[in-house]
Amino acid sequence: MESVQQLIVCGGCNAKIGPGNLGDLLADLPKSKNENLLVGFDSTDDAAVIKLTDDLAIIQTVDFFPTMVTDPYLFGKIAAANALSDVYAMGGTVLSALNIVAFPEEKDLHILKEILRGGAEKVEEAGAILAGGHSIHDHSVKYGLSVTGTVDPEKIYQNNTCQVGDHLILTKPLGVSILTVGYSAGEVSEEAFNQATKSMETLNKYAMNIIRNYPITSCTDVTGFGLAGHLHEMVGEKFSAEIYSKKLPYFEEAYTAAKEFILTAGGQRNRNYMESKMDFTIEDFGIEELLYDPQTSGGLLVSVPEADAEKLVSELQSAGIPAEDFGVVIPREEKDIIVY
């Protein structure tokens, strides 16, 4: 393809501000108070939810980042899938999207066209309206979407409402940042890189179409804070979680690369924030890095009562979604997450 190898690898959700720093930044900002604001940034949820009527609320979210692959068309698809995911994580349906673009003035506009083409295809796949956008010149390429969705106010999924005994299910394998960084350094195979990009460009729409038929207690998508960081937000201060490492879904070559110290900056930021909150009962550096690895357009992390977990995983896997039941919510212990 003409546009391949025209972007640099420098971002994705690996470029996200770390969870500790972000929390400190937001702590003292004024909070909006309105009875119709059902979910705002006073929580750590994926998007804002504003009630319009008794049976209709809108979901608003925005997400954009620098390139993590060299192919502009592929980058556009991944960035759009990542932005759209926040609506699915709240249990919503995507209604419309606006492009957000930063592009160097001297760079070939054909590259930008390919990015926008990839993004437009994913918005269309979501069944949504691409209604315009905003662009600026910048020294590096960045792309994403502002997305509006709809949801029943009584059926909103939040990221911190799990219950003791719930099983934890993840719908995509871990390790995409390790694979993209490793591939750009020549340390990861093209096959593994292609597996990662296929996962990143896959909409979470298909998983949510199945998940919403089950009594989900909590849901989020795993992105820049890694599985460990997003699970930490899910259990909060009330509960802890057990992770069974042999049941984790991950890319085998990402695990191998992590053990060979193919690391990401975002993963180290996540480790610095989460390390004191983790209890690793096993000695496995590869598993540690996979749990801290920032996921660009990662899977949905859901908590579901034990009675429904096996059936949900079976239905997801039957639909070609590589979901796994990898852990359980337990009463509060000293650490947030215990890894076995």
Contact in structure between 122 and 77 (CB atoms under 8 Å):
yes
Q: Which residues are catalytic?
A: 13
Task: Report residue 4's pLDDT band, with 50, 70 and 90 as the boundaries.
Answer: very low
Q: Which pLDDT tens digit goes with each residue over 21-56?
A: 555 666 666 666 788 888 776 566 667 899 999 999
- Would you state the pLDDT for residue 316? 98
Give CA angle at 274 (187, 161), nearest 5°: 115
Q: For all residues of the chain together, what is the average pLDDT?
A: 91
Q: Which pLDDT tens digit goes with each residue over 250-298?
A: 999 999 999 999 999 899 999 999 999 999 999 999 999 999 999 999 9
Q: Tokens 């003035």 appear where?
A: 105
Task: Report residue 114's pLDDT band, with 50, 70 and 90 as the boundaries.
Answer: very high
Count CB atoms within 10 A of the CB of residue 84. Answer: 28
Q: Which pLDDT tens digit goes with each residue over 292-326?
A: 999 999 999 999 999 999 999 999 999 999 999 99
45 is in an annotated binding site: yes
Q: Walk me through the domains of the chain, giving residue ranges and CATH numbers.
A: 12-155 (3.30.1330.10), 167-339 (3.90.650.10)
Residue range 92-107: mean pLDDT, rounded? 94
Please state, in angstroms and rounded to a whole number, the distance separating the CA atoms of residues 133 and 122.
15
279 is in an annotated binding site: no
155 is in an annotated binding site: no
Contact in structure between 337 and 279 (CB atoms under 8 Å):
yes
18 is in an annotated binding site: no
Q: Which pLDDT tens digit goes with each residue over 11-25?
A: 555 555 556 555 566
- Would you state the pLDDT for residue 5? 41
| pTM, rounded to two decimals | 0.90
Q: What percentage of the chain reaches a pLDDT higher than 70?
A: 89
